[in-house]
Structure 1
Amino acid sequence: MNPSATDRPLSGFRVGVTAARKVEEQIGLLERRGAEVVWAPALSLADNHVEDADLRIATDDVLDRPVDLFLATTGIGLKAWFAAAERWGLRERLLEHLGAAEILARGPKSVGALRANGLRELWSPESEEFEDVLEHLRGRDLDGQRIVVQEHGQSLSMVAHALRRRGADVTSVAVYRVVAAEDPEPMFHLIDQIADREVHAVTFTAAPAVAALMEAATSTGRREDVVSAFQADVLASCVGPVTAAAFELWGVPSVFPERSRLAAMIKQLEVELPSRAAGTSFEVAGRTLLLHGDDVLLDGVEVKLSGAPLAVLQAMVVNPGHVVSRADLLAALPSGTAGSEHAVEMAVARLRTAIGTRSVQTVVKRGYRLAVTPTD
């Protein structure tokens, strides 16, 4: 067994990272575990705060009348709002005003920001999902109740409309907006790698990042390829249930840890990715071939394969011993590979050179297959 597979559990795996914030920490955690990282920020690195004048108008509106219920959704939004109020000389007044209301918080970050400013939430869901905050309000009489909703980077206008239908007087406060990354090229490159199965997993730490990636995939005409890849071969790894829920719209399965924390997400990847690669061990022409991510071992010795021969090998081990047509092998080759059957022949020749000429059999007029007998 390759030592890197045990000491560095993500060795041989390529992981896409879509985060814009705390990205150094995430990349460091992945690389220390042996992963090759492809960074493509889905969202802008800028703060994207709304205009001070607009936030001041919204704040004055909040202060104009008593608040019955305050819904806090993000720690970063609360901190930015209270900091702006401090600049205007309104912080203490705002805190006192909100403190007189019943406060519901979406998750631990918003709870932390509230308590750091002397406010105390009455209730917060274990799930950290805003939908559960709304569920908590279901059945209550909201007629005439004034509700202030601190938005979480995306508009909650539909939430506000739903609450208004129940008779509530709703004021939404937008502190910042989430927008797509200024340079879309890294994201376009990652989309190609997802569609071509050149990454094993992609991490998401915010629901808007999912929307941004799918929007970019749609704009490049590769949305169906991306959805198909996530459904079959590429793992969508989310930091928590809120982010994972954003994939449900696309019918994409995803995984997320019990605790919505970055370290927990990486720890989960340590288990998920190797388990997906487990069992790809074969007797090939009398020798033992083991695939672990992009690592290939022949009788316990690592074999270095470039993109095209590795793609051919991975296509043939999907159904070990079965014939794979030249057309299917051509489709499996990485983007940028010359699009002809000659490219397939060259990739097969390089694979034979690396793992043995008898390891890959030619089936006349049909294609190629590995000369394998699966190990117990």
Structure 2
Amino acid sequence: MEQPTTPPVPPGVPDPAAVGPDQALAGCRVLLTAKRRATELGTALQRRGAEIVHAPVLSIVPHADDEQLLAQTRALIADPPDVVVATTGVGFRGWLEAADAAGVHAELLAVLRRARLIARGPKAQGAIHGAGLVADWVAQSETAAEIKELFEAEGVAGLHVGVQHHGSGADGIDELLVALGARVTPLVVYRWGPPPDPEAVRRGVRLVADAGVDAVVFTAAPGAVEFLAAAERAGLRDAVIAALAGPVLPATVGPVTAAPLVEAGLTPLIPDRFRMGALVRELTAALTGRGVVEVGTPGGVLRLKRSWASLDGRVLPLSRVQFDVLAALVRAAGRVVTREDILALLPGTSADPHAAEVAIARLRDSLGNRAVVTTVPRRGYRLDLAS
């Protein structure tokens, strides 16, 4: 006799054999708009059961290949600064790596040792210390605003200030320094370029507009700006804004990244600590239970979310068709779902009246409890709800 087989698990649904102890995001689909650190962020969310969709909206010009950065670095070495501002840890390390590749690492370190070093937060401070240098002042809030307040309070007229920027460098520090009378040498360690896969961005915009994801994660302000611009080009800006204000949660790594979304009238999730780990934890907390339908049955609590379902805490190995049939039974809330309604959910089988019976039988096998779905003779089927 042929042995019964387990229905295939659809994409995005955790395999019951591989489910870990923490599956709070099972059934959630999250769109990532960044390329840098996307693997790290995606892996952390996948460990919690999320399905990840990648749609990087910008590419990054590598620091070692950036002639503009190297030219500015050589200019800084030739005209040593009084003050150097490190805005990010990864950017500061990348700057030193670029200098090393260009053969001016020792000269740059000598210049930095003589300058007053300002760090925008502990990460930048750690990168400075990792290079064998000492940060003279650290912005505990990790914001450019605190650095601006320092310069306004102390005054920088006549000083030469080098500012290591991240990405577009649009943080207002250079402009303030110039207004205060300083000479500024900007050092943009990496620059933004066009998306590596424009079609992936278009698909991502459409998914958000259709509420086909539960959250969109932004890790840089230019990425948020470009995502909204891509929505505009696709004629979907209004639909995207409406989705991000409703069923789709916009999440950011910090207030600077959130600013373009706030300007668009949105209220994105911003973690209290501007760290990737804090973003993952707060996003998990925000999405847990969001959009979940929960009902009591004789087999335990049945939970549905998107294309994922669990019964009594056990992830169910449902095919797409099985999930659709189960969702129809849940929506009926204990009322009868007719055979005709079941047949309408089955691809290419509407002419076979027995196909509904087969579909229900397979669903019961996957549920592992035949009492959950009750047959109503000559009418159809219904979900047996626990009183």
Q: Distance in 2 between the 1:269 and 1:237 partners? A: 7
Asked if 1:271 is matched to 2:304, the reply is: no
Q: Distance in 1 between the 2:82 and 2:63 partners? A: 29
User: Where do residues 196-345 of structure 1 align in structure 2 (5 Å cutoff)?
Assistant: 196-277=210-291, 280-281=293-294, 290-292=303-305, 294-296=307-309, 306=320
- For residue 274 of structure 1, what is the amino acid of its counterpart? T
Moved more, 294-303 or 13-22: 294-303
- For residue 30 of structure 1, what is the amino acid of its counterpart? L
Are the equivalent residues in 2 in contact too, given 1:77–1:175 (CA < 8 A)? Answer: yes
CA-CA distance at 1:232 after TM superposition? 1.0
Give the alignment partner of residue 18 of structure 1, picking from 33, 50, 57: 33
Moved more, 186-195 or 209-218: 209-218
Asked if 1:38 is matched to 2:33, the reply is: no
**Structure exhibiting the larger radius of gyration computed from Cα positions:** 2
Are the equivalent residues in 2 in contact too, given 1:290–1:296 (CA < 8 A)? Answer: yes
CA-CA distance at 1:281 after TM superposition? 3.6
How has the CA–CA distance of structure 1 residues 300 and 275 changed in structure 2, closer, same or farther, with 3 Å as cutoff?
Answer: closer
Q: Distance in 2 between the 1:21 and 1:306 partners? A: 33
How has the CA–CA distance of structure 1 residues 119 and 281 changed in structure 2, closer, same or farther, with 3 Å as cutoff?
Answer: same
Q: Distance in 1 between the 2:89 and 2:317 partners? A: 48
Secondary structure, aligned partner of 1:277: coil
Q: Distance in 2 between the 1:252 and 1:273 partners? A: 17
Secondary structure, aligned partner of 2:193: coil
Normalised by the length of structure 2, the TM-score is 0.71
CA-CA distance at 1:229 after TM superposition? 0.9
CA-CA distance at 1:41 after TM superposition? 1.7
Give the alignment partner of residue 350 of structure 1, picking from 328, 345, 350: 345
Q: Deviations over 1:2-29 (max 9, x none)?
A: 9979751111111112231333333322
How has the CA–CA distance of structure 1 residues 262 and 347 changed in structure 2, closer, same or farther, with 3 Å as cutoff?
Answer: farther
For structure 2, list consecutive stretches of 5 or more residues without a partner in the other structure: 1-13, 334-339, 347-355, 361-372, 377-381
CA RMSD of aligned residues (A): 4.0
Asked if 1:92 is matched to 2:101, the reply is: no
CA-CA distance at 1:59 after TM superposition? 2.2
Are the equivalent residues in 2 in contact too, given 1:5–1:11 (CA < 8 A)? Answer: no
User: Where do residues 134-213 of structure 1 align in structure 2 (5 Å cutoff)?
Assistant: 134-156=148-170, 158-213=172-227
Paired positions, count: 332
- For residue 308 of structure 2, what is the amino acid of its counterpart? D
Are the equivalent residues in 2 in contact too, given 1:237–1:269 (CA < 8 A)? Answer: yes
- 2:3 is aligned to none
Are the equivalent residues in 1 in contact too, given 2:144–2:173 (CA < 8 A)? Answer: no
CA-CA distance at 1:96 after TM superposition? 2.2
Q: Distance in 1 between the 2:374 and 2:345 partners? A: 10
CA-CA distance at 1:303 after TM superposition? 9.5
Q: Distance in 1 between the 2:38 and 2:114 partners? A: 38
Are the equivalent residues in 2 in contact too, given 1:281–1:289 (CA < 8 A)? Answer: yes
How has the CA–CA distance of structure 1 residues 263 and 158 changed in structure 2, closer, same or farther, with 3 Å as cutoff?
Answer: closer
Q: Deviations over 1:257-313 (max 9, x none)?
A: 3333333322223221124236x44589xx987444543568999595859x96xx7
Are the equivalent residues in 2 in contact too, given 1:73–1:151 (CA < 8 A)? Answer: yes
Give the alignment partner of residue 116 of structure 1, picking from 122, 125, 130: 130
Q: Distance in 2 between the 1:264 and 1:276 partners? A: 19
